[in-house]
Chain A
Amino acid sequence: MSSPPIATFTLLEAAVAVPPAFLLTIAVAVSAAGLALLMQPKHRALRVGGTIIGLAGLAMLFVEVLKRATVTGEEAGLPPVFPVIFGFLALAGAVRMITHPRPVFAALYFVLVVVAIAGMFLLLGAEFMAFAMVIVYAGAILITYMFVLMLAQQSPVAGIGEPVYDRMPREALSAIAVGFVILATLSEAYFSPTAQRFRNDSLTGSIVSGTQQAWARLGEMPKLLLQTARMVKPDVATVVEFDSKSATVTAKMTNGSTERFTLDEKMIPDNGRQVGVELVSKFPAGLEIAGVVLLMALFGAVILARKQIELGEDERRALAGMRRFTVDGEAGGASGDSRADASLIASDNGGSAR
């Protein structure tokens, strides 16, 4: 008798009061549905609806995630404007990049993503990497992609437009399903209450230790340390000792006396200096290996891009038989064959003859 009302009540309750633990997953699902609609190249109305649904899902995600960042006791300010703007720019560029039918436009949207990410880097205090990212990605890597696109792209056919492989996505629904699972897992891992508490604790504790680490990095740079000490007291001769915990310098002055003084927080070395010191002092082996990787990539690209020589049946058989070719003998042979032989042997010598 009493079971139907209870059942309807729990159903209603489940429909109205969504447990906060599922909010992120639901928001991810809404975004995924929007993306699925956006990947319908034939129906314009579906794409408009997909844009709206996707934006709604993204807004839900951002609101929920930013809400979880607030620590109790913190005064409520305006919503964080810049991370949200850069985030939406990056995501809009990324979605446009994976849905745009024209490859050149997709590459240009990737530039938008790179610039938005560089803005994010600035907000996170990584000035050097922000500018390096724009220069290397937008300036170098993307230009390489554009060159290859121009080189290899088939021109659009009149009346049909872009080639079909650029217009039609492949297995869009199953790909989005995979993306949904991964994103739901990732967001649950990043923004679960435990992870969030750990992150807030680490952030609270790391302000002090962050300053100390910056001072420790300054301690590894004797020349800059001397310069910084001279900003406080101009007649410092040598720095005897530097305590990175309290930022205290023990220095020998030009008149022979010894003085102790504290450095100001404004004198913490800037981001570029810190990254440089970290790179050469903590990861010297990585730096060397990066150089080797780049060199090998250069060799690989040169070898891949070398002109290929089509071998005829005769040449292949001769090659398998390990027989030496006669290069310019055999006057009776066809001239085309002997030219192929010559180029084959030339490629054996590393292409030096060409």
Chain B
Amino acid sequence: MSHFTTILPTSFPAILPTTLAVTDAQTINAALLVSALLFTCGLIGFLTRRNMILMFLCTELMFQAAALAMIAFGRMHHDVSGQVFVIFILTIAAAEAALALGLVVLLYRRRETLDSEAWSELHESA
């Protein structure tokens, strides 16, 4: 077992059987896979969703995927810098949510619809 440390803290095995313990390499691989899949889901959602609020929600999904990849790679190097980057991602996500939602409310007031197709031809409102 020299290659791997069990990822659960030392107080856990009392509750969980040790055979359920996972190797670090497997956890990191699974996290990277989930992160890649989530990012793709967010991308597909951003392209296919026509509701403007949900389009921005899909960008939040991509932020989540990036945060997961950061923490997985941080775990790989046993470096907490990855977690610090996630704090910054969280900041940007919060700022983006505030601004994007303000914009969406503004656009909704103009056209009375959340459909992004309503803005496919930009010109002054009649």
A residues whose Cβ falls under 8 Å from a Cβ of B:
31, 35, 39, 58, 61-62, 65-66, 68-71, 73-75, 77-78, 80-84, 86-87, 90-91, 94-95, 97-98, 103, 106-107, 110, 113-114, 117, 120-121, 123-126, 128-129, 132-133, 136-137, 140-141, 144-145, 148-149, 151-154, 163, 165-166, 168-172, 174-176, 178-179, 182-183, 186-187, 190-191, 196, 199-200, 202-204, 206-207, 209-211, 213-214, 217, 266, 271, 274-275, 278-279, 282-283, 286, 290, 293-294, 296-298, 300-301, 304-305, 308
User: When the two chains form their complex, are residues B114 and A207 in contact, meaning their CB atoms are under 8 A apart?
Assistant: no
Beyond A141-B93, A290-B91, A301-B102, is A62–B30 a contact (Cβ under 8 Å)?
Answer: yes
User: When the two chains form their complex, are residues B48 and A172 in contact, meaning their CB atoms are under 8 A apart?
Assistant: yes
User: When the two chains form their complex, are residues B42 and A94 in contact, meaning their CB atoms are under 8 A apart?
Assistant: yes
User: When the two chains form their complex, are residues A113 and B29 in contact, meaning their CB atoms are under 8 A apart?
Assistant: no
Tell me, rounded to whole Å, the shortest Cβ–Cβ distance linking B8 to chain A: 8
List the 9 closest A-B pairs by CB distance, nearest first: A210-B78, A98-B45, A304-B102, A297-B95, A83-B30, A175-B47, A80-B22, A165-B50, A169-B48
11 inter-chain pairs at a CB distance below 8 angstroms, sorted by A residue, are A74-B4, A94-B61, A98-B45, A124-B75, A125-B75, A129-B86, A132-B87, A154-B114, A168-B50, A297-B99, A305-B106
Q: Which residues of A lie under 8 Å from residue B39 when comparing CB positions?
A: 182, 186
Task: State the CA gap A308–B19 with chains docked (Å).
Answer: 63
User: When the two chains form their complex, are residues B105 and A123 in contact, meaning their CB atoms are under 8 A apart?
Assistant: no
User: When the two chains form their complex, are residues A148 and B105 in contact, meaning their CB atoms are under 8 A apart?
Assistant: yes
Tell me, rounded to whole Å, the shortest Cβ–Cβ distance linking B55 to chain A: 10
Beyond A81-B22, A90-B34, A151-B105, is A179–B43 a contact (Cβ under 8 Å)?
Answer: yes
B residues whose Cβ falls under 8 Å from a Cβ of A:
1, 3-5, 7, 10, 19-34, 36-45, 47-51, 53-54, 56-58, 60-61, 64, 67-68, 71-72, 74-84, 86-88, 90-99, 101-106, 108-109, 113-117
The closest CB in chain A to the CB of B115 belongs to A165
User: When the two chains form their complex, are residues B113 and A154 in contact, meaning their CB atoms are under 8 A apart?
Assistant: yes
Known: A211-B78, A275-B87. 16 other contacts (CB 8 A): A31-B37, A78-B19, A78-B20, A94-B41, A98-B58, A103-B51, A163-B115, A206-B77, A278-B80, A278-B83, A282-B81, A294-B95, A301-B99, A301-B101, A305-B105, A305-B106
